[in-house]
Amino acid sequence: MLLAQLLISGIQTGLLYALTAAGFALIFGATRIFHFAHGAAYALAGYGFVFAVRAGWSWPLAALLATVLAVGFGLFMDAFVYRPIQRHTGSFFTVFVAAFGVVIVVQSGIEIGFGRAFVAVTSPLTRASAVLPGLYLARAFWIALAAAGVLFGALGLFLARTRTGIALRALAENPDLLRAYGLSARRLSALAFALGSALAVPGAVLGAATTGLSPSVASHVMLVSLAASVVGGIGSLRGAAAGGLVLGIAENLVVSVLDTQWSEAAGFVVLFAFILFRPRGIFGAALAR
Amino acid sequence: MIERRMLLRAGLGAAAGGLALGRARAEAEPYVLGTLFPMAGPNAEYGTIFTEGAQLALTHLAADKLLSRQVVLKAEDSQGTPQGGAVGMSKLVNVDHALYVLIGFTGVSKAAAPIGTRAKVVMVNGGGVGPDLAGLSPYYWNVIPLASAEVSRIAPYLVAKGWKRVALIYMDDPFGNGLRKSMQTDLPKAGGEIAGLFAITPAEQQFSALAAKVRDAKPDVVYFASYGAQQAQIIKQLRDNGIDQQLVTYSGALIPSVRSLPQAEGLIFTVQTAPWSATDPVTRRFLADWQATHKELPSVYHQNYYNAVRLFGLLAHGLEQQGKPVDGDSLRAELLRVRRFALVGGEGTFDDLGDLSVPIDIETLKGGQPVKLD
């Protein structure tokens, strides 16, 4: 039963990783911008949610505020950080350093606003109860499952079936051609940042309720998102989803055979294995050299 | 010839004037105290608390005009890591020329102590509790009871309560391993047994798998030894994942993020005896001024770092009265000469290692407030 319990925990953790990593993958896939500050969108959404719940707002309203904060942050980064850098033919390194700086600013802002302590939202939804002898499940598991299912389904449809979605996918390939078709690369880039940042919200909300948040959460989230994106295939949305799930399950299942401290390391062992043996990830396209 | 004499006289006069000016400048130079606390990251909460205690003591030192020179505080962020500790200590010693450093955290202390010892800089710990911190260096003093003393206190209590099988979750670092060794020694002695050992790392944030493993070990009680924000995450996630056994820990849990956590209600922990009912003037003044500003009781960490700074004031005052220089060696000699000091909590006595002996209570959290059990 321990194995089943660890698998359930792994799926729940993996779903949250998947949603967050998918946001990063969507932005990177469409704009080719290494949005290292994606973790900061998660942190802002999480803290916004906690702030609203503590202020007595209902959960849906609090989640709405979290979404506004995350999307606003994504749009801000696109318009005021990345675009000016790109105007001056900014290198990957410049973009990375700028994003890293923003993460530190956001972390410091959270520390000033909320203090440096751990924060969490207490809810009966996260309290697990025995469904079978030795197998515990919280309602948060079903919420994570439903949120991931609905969001990935909707996003998949949007990207595959709508003109804007197809244009978004084409943005990374040939922005000049998009312009020739009368589409604005700038608007599409903003849309990618808005959607990608919004995808961090379910993970942030559930994270605030299950694991809790600390001001430095952004770096951890970004590390996981990046690892999931590499495992799944850089730039691939379904790859990031699969990568997140694989990492979450690996982190939990490894505990059945190794000491608990190896949990997080297991995710990165998976990452190294992919880098060595399948560098294009689960769903990434092979690059011709 | 006359001109030469005049020149010589003028030269000597200028040299003497320069010397006097230099001495006056040296006398006017403040005493530099350093702090090496985690000021960012998941353990930053401790840095804030530790600094608050030290700052109140500095205010009192200045108000009392105890010393002939001003005392200034230079802060370095240890990040709660050995690397941060080594870098921060080097800067405090070599750049800021601190002669007395307030320090916390076991790993940080063990990394910083050799640097401080080489420079003969006194280091005073009021927050780290790793058992290895006793006698770390002649210049390293503790004003907090170490975890070995806390474990010795709690082990018989757990067994007496009928909680004989203890699941131990511990940080895989010098602090956690020291505490694990103490538990592995003291618990069997008291008649209990370790039901399972579960090592964790400082960066870990997901504990659902850990909860599954702990449940599988079927313990009577769960003892965890972590620090900072992670403690609250452990408590919340253990409870959320169906661990209903009594949770027990050490004094590190006395931080706001744990106290305010609903799931921490009923948490049992050991902590140095809080002296808030003491009637001595030092404790009364500390308490009154603290409450005037913060509108609540201080924590023992506030007390410890207040005491650490106050101890510097008393030692340096004694040295100044004797006309001796204030440096690492003289501070240590003065500590061992005097031994007993009026500190918050009453008169404190230091042993040969430079450690303050402090009694330990067993307490529980009720409505976020510590309540004495034993």
- Return residues 150-189 of A near B (CB < 8 Å): none
Interfacial residues of B (vs A; Cβ cutoff 8 Å): 40-42, 44-45, 47-48, 172, 198-201, 203-210, 212-213, 215-216, 229-230, 232-233, 236-237, 239-242, 255-257, 260-263
Q: Does A7 touch chain B (CB under 8 A)?
A: no
> Domain total for chain B?
2
What is the tens place of the pLDDT at every residue in B230-278? Answer: 899 999 999 999 999 999 999 988 888 899 899 999 999 999 888 888 8
Residue A132 lies in a domain: no
B152 and B253 share one domain: yes
pLDDT at residue A289 in the model: 46
Residue B199 lies in a domain: yes
CB B39 within 8 A of CB B54: no
pLDDT at residue B1 in the model: 46
Among candidates A126, A129, A261 on the partner chain, residue whose Cβ is nearest the Cβ of B172? A261
Residue A213 lies in a domain: yes
B292 and B213 share one domain: no
ipTM over 0.85: no
Q: Which two tokens stand for residue B101?
A: 């450093």
Residue B301 lies in a domain: yes
pLDDT at residue B202 in the model: 83
Cβ-based contacts of B212 with chain A (< 8 Å): 2, 5-6, 9, 136, 255
Q: What is the domain range of residue B171?
A: 148-272+361-372
B246 and B316 share one domain: no
B137 and B160 share one domain: no
Cβ-based contacts of A2 with chain B (< 8 Å): 212-213, 216
> Domain total for chain A?
1
What's the rounded mean pLDDT across residues A157-168? 90
Q: What is the domain range of residue A40?
A: 2-92+102-113+139-277
B89 and B76 share one domain: yes
Which site among B208, B215, B238, B257 would you substitute to test the A interface, given the most A Cβ atoms closer than 10 Å to its Cβ?
Answer: B208
Contact B242 A130 (CB under 8 A): yes
pLDDT band at B28 (very low <50, low <70, confident <90, very high): low
Q: What is the CATH number of the domain that holds B115?
A: 3.40.50.2300
Residue B20 lies in a domain: no
Residue B208 lies in a domain: yes
Higher pLDDT, B2 or B359: B359
B153 and B263 share one domain: yes
Among left, alpha and beta (phi > 0; psi -120 to 50; other), residue B295 is left
Which residue bears the tokens 């700038």? Answer: A186
Residue B18 lies in a domain: no
B61 and B109 share one domain: yes
The whole-chain average pLDDT of chain B stands at: 91
B250 and B290 share one domain: no
What is the tens place of the pLDDT at every residue in A28-86? Answer: 888 888 899 999 999 999 999 999 999 999 999 999 999 999 999 999 999 999 999 88
Helix residue spans in chain B (DSSP H): 2-28, 44-64, 82-94, 106-118, 147-160, 174-190, 208-216, 229-240, 256-259, 281-294, 300-321, 328-338
pLDDT band at A288 (very low <50, low <70, confident <90, very high): very low
What's the rounded mean pLDDT across residues A2-20? 91
Among left, alpha and beta (phi > 0; psi -120 to 50; other), residue A66 is alpha
Contact B203 A120 (CB under 8 A): no
